[in-house]
Amino acid sequence: MNILVTGGAGYIGSAAVKKIIQEGHEVIVIDNLSKGKKELVDDKAKFYEGDLINLEFLKNVFSKHKFDAIMHFAGYKAAGESMINLEKYSQNITSMINLLDNMVQFNVKKIIFSSSAAVYGEPQYTPIDESHPLNPINYYGFTKLECERIIDWYSKQKGIVGICLRYFNVMGDAGLNYRDPDAQNIEPIIYEVLSGKREKLLIFGNDYETPDGTCVRDYIDIKDLVHAHTLALNLNSSDIINLGTGKGTSVLEFVKKYNIPYEFSSKREGDPATLTASSKKAKRLLGWIPKEKVIKN
């Protein structure tokens, strides 16, 4: 297949590029390098530096290649920043519309979209399944939900197959020696403590209603996540699928494993006690079973 990967120089996109090239596909990457790094992009991929909000640029790329499918990873993803810089995060929606319009014009039929558990907002119950109410509590999550809804319209009216994958907490290294540098996530923070860049880990709250009092999250290894994308290429009808393991891990479990200094601090607003995914639909539709251990032995 000829696959366009947007955001292919980023943390997850670069891992996906490597994997789908290994599987024998032709890969074309678009990235504006606002966060991604060109050196992460596999040499065998054709790389275009540019922004998805630039329609002329996009049209030029689409006119040069005949794509069989698109993996759309590009986007801004810092929830906190999204509450301040709305204009920047609105570009996630503009980019989505631009891609879909080019798909219609150039007859590209399939898109796999990186959505997020942020579309759910505060969990009403866990594990969260795909029918859980949708109520994002930050603008980032709102942009993901809007993109899903726009995909749904293009799917119904224009016959595009849109697979929206709602990721939970992605972590790990896919073999590129690169971990998500977004220090909102626990894993990069642990590595910062281990390397001496940071003195200790701050644990926000220790009196949650969880087995050890600290927050529980559903961590998914990037290798399993990328594998789910390759399986999604086989789907021929639009759908929305959670990507999480269904298993929760607490902050203290990480701390104990890595034996790093830590300190308890007050709870953060909007941090639910437990966030885990139901992964039943992913198993049923994709035949996907996560294999990687989140906390390595």
Q: Which residues bind ligand NAD (CB under 6 A)?
A: 7, 9-13, 30-36, 51-53, 73-77, 91, 95, 114, 116, 167, 169-170, 180
Give how far the C-alpha of residue 198 lies from the chain's centroid of Cα atoms, to the nearest Å: 26
The minimum distance between CB 252 and ligand NAD, in angstroms, equals: 21
**Nearest-angstrom CA–CA distance, 163 and 236:** 9
At residue 242, what are phi and psi to the nearest 5 degrees? -70, 140
Catalytic residue among 48, 140, 167, 219: 140
- HSE-CB at 266 with a 13 A cutoff on CA atoms is 3
CA triple 47-50-53, angle to 5 deg: 135
The minimum distance between CB 93 and ligand NAD, in angstroms, equals: 11
The minimum distance between CB 137 and ligand NAD, in angstroms, equals: 15
- Closer CB to ligand NAD, 213 or 247, in the complex: 247
**Nearest-angstrom CA–CA distance, 8 and 28:** 9
- Closer CB to ligand NAD, 150 or 266, in the complex: 150
- Closer CB to ligand NAD, 12 or 215, in the complex: 12
Q: Catalytic: 140?
A: yes
Angle of helix 55-64 relative to helix 86-105, nearest 10 degrees?
A: 30
**Nearest-angstrom CA–CA distance, 123 and 36:** 31
The minimum distance between CB 25 and ligand NAD, in angstroms, equals: 19
- Closer CB to ligand NAD, 34 or 107, in the complex: 34
Closest CA relative to residue 11, chosen from 56, 62, 77: 77
Closest CA relative to residue 72, chosen from 166, 28, 8: 8
Q: CA-CA distances (angstroms) from residue 200 to 183, 189, 197, 212, 255? A: 13, 9, 9, 19, 10
At 290, the amino acid letter reads P
Length of the chain: 297
The minimum distance between CB 262 and ligand NAD, in angstroms, equals: 22
- Closer CB to ligand NAD, 117 or 160, in the complex: 117
- Closer CB to ligand NAD, 36 or 262, in the complex: 36
At residue 29, what are phi and psi to the nearest 5 degrees? -115, 135
The minimum distance between CB 207 and ligand NAD, in angstroms, equals: 26
Q: CA-CA distances (angstroms) from residue 278 to 121, 247, 248, 295? A: 15, 9, 11, 20
At residue 114, what are phi and psi to the nearest 5 degrees? -80, 95
Active-site residue list: 140
